[in-house]
Chain A
């Protein structure tokens, strides 16, 4: 399996390089993120602390028992930087370290999607999914907007 792990790292690096360079300037200047979730989700709002619990993998199920599928953006994304520093109040390094620990404890870190569109489609399609998109992104009715933060 070792070769597979190395392969993943290789893929990630390539993906980060290609997308990070092209997508970074898109959301510059915005300072808010929209928290979106699957339309059928039981809750309608969410607080920062609840988000922190979810993204720090302390809460993995919704109140109705559905598994929480948190979405993240790629490393180089300004939206992710914003979400990390402003909503979760964490540094990227500390968060990565935390997720790594959690990973080893058997908890999956939030999935990465490389565009707001992808996040939106994913949240729309997957029950229990939650994610964030840039404030500039038009959000249709296919997803439930839980909050605009910070």
Chain B
């Protein structure tokens, strides 16, 4: 199959390689875009989730603070409304407030203490059971003219030695809401805040909104210096801190409807590297997945490319083979039903068609010569036909000329015959009388000799008779007169025959006896047959035939004259007439030299003659044939060089009336 494949140009840009490259490119592009999208989506999602987790943590912390502080605020408000607080007016003379506070602290397991000051700021009672230095006055930061509960941010004083928060409220007399009778303070130790904020998973920062001070920092965070705080508070999602990139979730405890709350910013932090670890893991997984998919996909693409290109290579080889070997019987092996398979089928169909076309061409080429020969023959035959037409035309012309000539000749002959008829009649009529006269004269002489005469006389007579050679004259005169009589009779016969023969006055159809025509013709030809040819007549017809007698006689003349010419020495001419149904048949047979088949074929052709030039026109039989044809008769000839020639003429007794 690949005998000629080395004659093909080398494949420069292999289709399979390009196919592979394109598919690989598409795969790579698709994979990269999908991977990039997925990665971007995952990382965005993760970042958002980390961010939201951090924010959630911050929010949780805020909520925790709010819950805790709300409770404190509610406590402070409720306790300030206790009836026992009216005792502030009396300076807790009965110690009721002190007892109540101790009770409350125990009951609510407060982390720190409750203090009640009178309106002048003097400590009236507290939940502390140990003795406090007297007089104790309210620390200035705990004072407030706020009407409701209020919050004191992280601070420390004599009563709150370790840092802490304070929740305070001004106490009014229950019977007179206008009458301020003192201040109630609940202290909240900072370590409780720290305990609540301590989240092992996520470090927390608490910043005060008021002075950008760091209130709390988770122990697992690096130490922060004061100048970072402002930047920290402004950070949105991410911040660079101490060479670490940190993700930040921010929440504020400040609520618009509750000014008594602390204004803190709580931040949940997470180191970026640690937070983004899942994203890197995802990227790695996507990469591994891509590699995992790439291997089988490349294998499939390789296989598919081979599969696609193989039929093309096979087709190319077949085409090359066909091209170089010029063998159209080769076919592509089609083993698939895809487009290439259809191409293969189409190519096979084309090859088949081409093959049949080529064979047809070869066949045509082969038959072309034969066709040329055939055409040549046809041409030649057409040519011959044309020639024969020309010949016919010529013959028709010649016949016309001949007929005219014969007609003229006939007229002349008829005229001559008519003119000769009278003198020859006189001669013929006078000859018997002349014979009688001669006989009489001879008898007279004989008588004279017998008469008794003297010798002189006798001698003179004898001398005169000897002088004229009377004996010879006597004998010869009889002969002469007989001869003349014969001659005259012949002339008479000839004249009759000429008249019969010409019959120019009888151009129209006439019922004639054919035997008369034959006899007339024989009479005209008598001088050629005499002593040489025996004429045998078998006349069995004896019935007139309607015909142009002159023309029929011309036919007889031709036939008989030919028969006579055919007999070179002695021979027999047999003339028979007979009836055959409604036809008259004339048979003229001679024992002459006969004709060869070649000659026999041509005897009716005009100008064909076996005689020497000048002796015959070659028109006789041709004209005869035409005459018989015109009479709706048949003209047949049989001839053999050994036995002679036999002409048969078959004529109908009647001719169609309209023919003239």
User: Which of B82, B87, B175 contacts A67, CB < 8 Å?
Assistant: B175
User: Which of B83, B89, B99, B173 contacts A8, CB < 8 Å?
Assistant: B83
Determine the distance from Cα of A67 to Cα of B178 in the docked complex, in whole angstroms.
12
Given A67-B176, A118-B90, are A111 and B83 neighbors across the interface (CB < 8 Å)? yes
User: Which of B91, B94, B174 contacts A108, CB < 8 Å?
Assistant: B174
Given A8-B83, A121-B89, are A114 and B96 neighbors across the interface (CB < 8 Å)? yes
Cβ–Cβ contact A108 & B175, under 8 A: yes
Most central of B173, B174, B175 by chain A CB within 10 Å: B175
Min distance, Cβ B145 to any Cβ of chain A, angstroms = 21
Cβ–Cβ contact A118 & B103, under 8 A: no
Kindly list chain B residues whose C-beta atoms are within 8 Å of the C-beta of A76: none
Which residue of chain B has the shortest Cβ distance to A3 in the bound complex?
Answer: B78
Q: Interface size for chain B: under 10, 10 to 19, 20 to 34, or 35 or more residues? A: 20 to 34
Q: Does A90 contact B (CB under 8 A)?
A: no
Q: Does B84 contact A (CB under 8 A)?
A: yes
Q: Does A26 contact B (CB under 8 A)?
A: no
Most central of A8, A108, A111 by chain B CB within 10 Å: A111
Interface hits, B89-137 → A, CB 8 Å: 89-91, 93-94, 96, 99-100, 103, 107
Cβ–Cβ contact A122 & B174, under 8 A: no
Q: Does A28 contact B (CB under 8 A)?
A: no
Q: Does B183 contact A (CB under 8 A)?
A: no
Cβ–Cβ contact A111 & B82, under 8 A: no
Determine the distance from Cα of A36 to Cα of B496 in the docked complex, in whole angstroms.
220
Kindly list chain B residues whose C-beta atoms are within 8 Å of the C-beta of A19: 94
Determine the distance from Cα of A14 to Cα of B91 in the docked complex, in whole angstroms.
20
Q: Does A43 contact B (CB under 8 A)?
A: no
User: Which of B82, B94, B99, B179 contacts A113, CB < 8 Å?
Assistant: B94
Q: Interface size for chain A: under 10, 10 to 19, 20 to 34, or 35 or more residues? A: 20 to 34
Determine the distance from Cα of A125 to Cα of B90 in the docked complex, in whole angstroms.
8
Q: Does B577 contact A (CB under 8 A)?
A: no
Q: Does B270 contact A (CB under 8 A)?
A: no
Cβ–Cβ contact A117 & B86, under 8 A: no
Which residue of chain A has the shortest Cβ distance to B84 in the bound complex?
Answer: A11
Interface residues as binary, A50-92 with B (CB distance below 8 Å gives 1, 0 otherwise): 0000000000000000010100000000000000000000000
Interface hits, B499-520 → A, CB 8 Å: none
Cβ–Cβ contact B103 & A69, under 8 A: no
Q: Does A104 contact B (CB under 8 A)?
A: no
Cβ–Cβ contact A121 & B90, under 8 A: yes
Cβ–Cβ contact A111 & B175, under 8 A: yes
Min distance, Cβ A93 to any Cβ of chain B, angstroms = 22
User: Which of B99, B107, B174, B175 contacts A15, CB < 8 Å?
Assistant: B99
Min distance, Cβ A23 to any Cβ of chain B, angstroms = 10
Kindly list chain A residues whose C-beta atoms are within 8 Å of the C-beta of B107: 7
Interface residues as binary, A117-137 with B (CB distance below 8 Å gives 1, 0 otherwise): 110011001100000000000
Cβ–Cβ contact B84 & A111, under 8 A: no
Given A8-B83, A11-B84, are A113 and B175 neighbors across the interface (CB < 8 Å)? no
Majority secondary structure, A binding face: helix
Interface hits, A29-50 → B, CB 8 Å: none
Cβ–Cβ contact B175 & A69, under 8 A: yes
Min distance, Cβ A113 to any Cβ of chain B, angstroms = 7
Cβ–Cβ contact A122 & B83, under 8 A: no
Q: Does A142 contact B (CB under 8 A)?
A: no
Min distance, Cβ B18 to any Cβ of chain A, angstroms = 85
Kindly list chain A residues whose C-beta atoms are within 8 Å of the C-beta of B175: 67, 69, 108, 111, 126
Given A114-B96, A115-B94, A121-B90, are A14 and B83 neighbors across the interface (CB < 8 Å)? no
Min distance, Cβ B88 to any Cβ of chain A, angstroms = 10
Cβ–Cβ contact B103 & A121, under 8 A: no
Determine the distance from Cα of A148 to Cα of B199 in the docked complex, in whole angstroms.
68
Determine the distance from Cα of A113 to Cα of B91 in the docked complex, in whole angstroms.
12
Cβ–Cβ contact B87 & A118, under 8 A: yes
User: Which of B83, B89, B91, B103 contacts A126, CB < 8 Å?
Assistant: B89
Cβ–Cβ contact A11 & B179, under 8 A: no
Determine the distance from Cα of A125 to Cα of B120 in the docked complex, in whole angstroms.
14
Cβ–Cβ contact A121 & B78, under 8 A: no
Kindly list chain A residues whose C-beta atoms are within 8 Å of the C-beta of B78: 4
Min distance, Cβ B140 to any Cβ of chain A, angstroms = 25
Determine the distance from Cα of A74 to Cα of B174 in the docked complex, in whole angstroms.
17
Kindly list chain A residues whose C-beta atoms are within 8 Å of the C-beta of B91: 121
Determine the distance from Cα of A71 to Cα of B84 in the docked complex, in whole angstroms.
13
Interface residues as binary, A1-27 with B (CB distance below 8 Å gives 1, 0 otherwise): 000100110010011001100000000
Cβ–Cβ contact B83 & A118, under 8 A: no
Which residue of chain B has the shortest Cβ distance to A114 in the bound complex?
Answer: B94
Cβ–Cβ contact B100 & A126, under 8 A: no
Determine the distance from Cα of A112 to Cα of B174 in the docked complex, in whole angstroms.
12
Kindly list chain B residues whose C-beta atoms are within 8 Å of the C-beta of A115: 93-94
Kindly list chain A residues whose C-beta atoms are within 8 Å of the C-beta of B99: 14-15, 18
Chain B: residues with CB nearer than 8 A to chain A? Answer: 78, 82-84, 86-87, 89-91, 93-94, 96, 99-100, 103, 107, 173-176, 179
Closest 10 CB pairs of A and B: A121-B90, A114-B94, A118-B90, A118-B93, A69-B175, A125-B89, A122-B90, A118-B94, A122-B89, A115-B94
A–B Cβ pairs within 8 angstroms, 26 of them: A8-B82, A8-B83, A11-B82, A11-B84, A14-B99, A15-B96, A19-B94, A67-B175, A67-B176, A69-B176, A108-B174, A111-B83, A111-B86, A113-B87, A113-B90, A114-B96, A115-B93, A115-B94, A118-B90, A118-B93, A118-B94, A122-B89, A122-B90, A126-B89, A126-B176, A126-B179
20 new A-B contacts, CB < 8 A, other than A11-B82, A67-B175, A115-B93, are: A8-B83, A11-B84, A14-B99, A19-B94, A69-B175, A69-B176, A108-B174, A111-B83, A113-B87, A113-B90, A114-B94, A114-B96, A117-B90, A121-B89, A121-B90, A121-B91, A125-B89, A126-B173, A126-B175, A126-B176
